[in-house]
Amino acid sequence: MLGNFSYKNATKLYFGEESLKYLNNELPKYGKTVQLIYGGGSVKRNGIYDAVVEILNANGKTIVEDAGVMPNPTADKLREGVKLARENSVDFLLAVGGGSCCDYAKAVSVSVNCDDDPWEKYYIRFEEPDCEIIPVGCILTMAGTGSEMNAGSVITNHEQKLKLGHVFGEEVMPKFSILNPRFTMTLPKRQMVSGIYDIFNHICEQYFSGEDDNTSDYIAEALMKSVIHSSLIAVENPEDYEARSNIMWTATWALNTLISCGKQTDWMVHMLGQAVGAITDATHGMTLAAVSLPYYRTVMPCGLPKFVRFAKEVWGVKPEGKTDKEIADEGLKAMEGWMKQIGVAMNLSELGVTEDMIEAIADATVILDGGYKVLDRDGVVEVLKASL
């Protein structure tokens, strides 16, 4: 049965090759001082930075530079960004980059006027903001996280060896996001592929929960098939605009809360992957890929009907003459073949994980109970060992 839910998404999207010009429509709604958030400098090399700064200047904005947001933004970087915003009385946060920049901007937004340490308040105690929130806008350069249209924010604390997320309320969602698929074509192929798997696993995390025949699952299956189809084109030709457009659009709908409506959700692959990232700082999408198949093979017997449906509806497995387990196994085998074809990490060893790291990764893993099987710590260790 489809459960009770409420749904609202307040983020306005501008999509397409001409979408950046709509920044002119949005900037007058906010104050004079803009904290311009970006990563390691690729936006300067590819010209996106200059185009954004030109629009900011044309709108009379004072720009406060906040560069150097890392792929896994840290608690220390968050504190730096908060200090910068406070010192400059920032009115608006504009993230130009991928999901890490968007996540970081949202974390800064709820922390500037917060009296507590943001890491402790939001990521350890999981409290909600009780202060004024600085509005956020996003200009996306990498498709994958869906952070451009949700209220999630993941931060890493290297000192505590933790990588944790907080899904805030709708008031923290970006006010607008600009999605130009051309901007994603500046990424190295490995980053593109990592984002593709992140998209796919976002859908899986919401799909592999419950056994209901509901609208959310039908939408999820269509999104998965879209990712598979477009990813194979993009891997062969990263300049294919249609494929990159579909990947970018699917990424947004994979994690803007739509397909979780009325469902339980799992998210244990993300908990495992984020723990790997906390210890190794490995690329997020690759950590998910490395642990996915061992995890799904572990929980499959407890959710067999959905894995059978996944095999038939997403991968086209023919059921005739096969047991349910054989059908489900064939579906995961097809998924494995696709993963290899697009070039994601297939095990943790590829990411530098060794057996002596397993206990520390297990310690950093948050155990959730929304999936078909609730792992205990020993179960987490077994999945991690199987992922090596």
Quick check: 237 and 338 in contact, CB under 8 A?
Answer: no
Confidence of residue 1 (pLDDT cuts 50, 70, 90): low
Question: Of 130, 154, 184, which residue sits at a domain end?
Answer: 184
Q: Look at residue 4 and tell me if it is in a domain.
A: no
Rounded mean pLDDT, 222-248? 98
Is there a contact between 281 and 161 (Cβ–Cβ < 8 Å)?
no
The pTM of this model reads 0.96
- Evaluate whether residue 1 is within a structural domain: no
* CA 157/CA 77 separation, integer angstroms: 10
Residue 3 lies in a domain: no
Measured in whole angstroms, the distance separating CA 173 from the mean position of its chain's CA atoms is: 14
| Same domain, yes or no: 210 and 342 | yes
**206 within a domain of the structure (yes/no):** yes
Residues 203-214: tens digit of each pLDDT: 999 999 987 778
d(CA 136, CA 176): 8
Q: What is the CATH number of the domain that holds 117?
A: 3.40.50.1970
Domain boundary pick from 157, 184, 211: 184
Residue 59 falls within a domain, yes or no?
yes
In a domain, 294, yes or no: yes
- What's the domain range around 221? 189-387
**b (16+ CB within 10 A) / e for 146-168:** bbbbbbbbbbbbeeeebbbbbeb
Same domain as 150, residue 196: no
Instruction: Say yes or no: 148 and 269 in one domain.
Output: no
Q: Are residues 197 and 174 in the same domain?
A: no
Say whether both 156 and 61 belong to one domain.
Answer: yes
- Domains in the chain, number: 2
- Residue where a domain terminates, one of 163, 184, 205: 184
Give residue-wise pLDDT tens across range 171-195.
999 999 999 999 999 889 999 999 9
One DSSP character per residue, 264-278 reads: ----HHHHHHHHHHH
pLDDT at 40 over 70: yes
The Cα–Cα gap between 164 and 153 comes to 8
Is residue 194 domain-shared with residue 225, that is, in the same domain?
yes
The reply to whether 45 and 176 lie within a common domain is yes
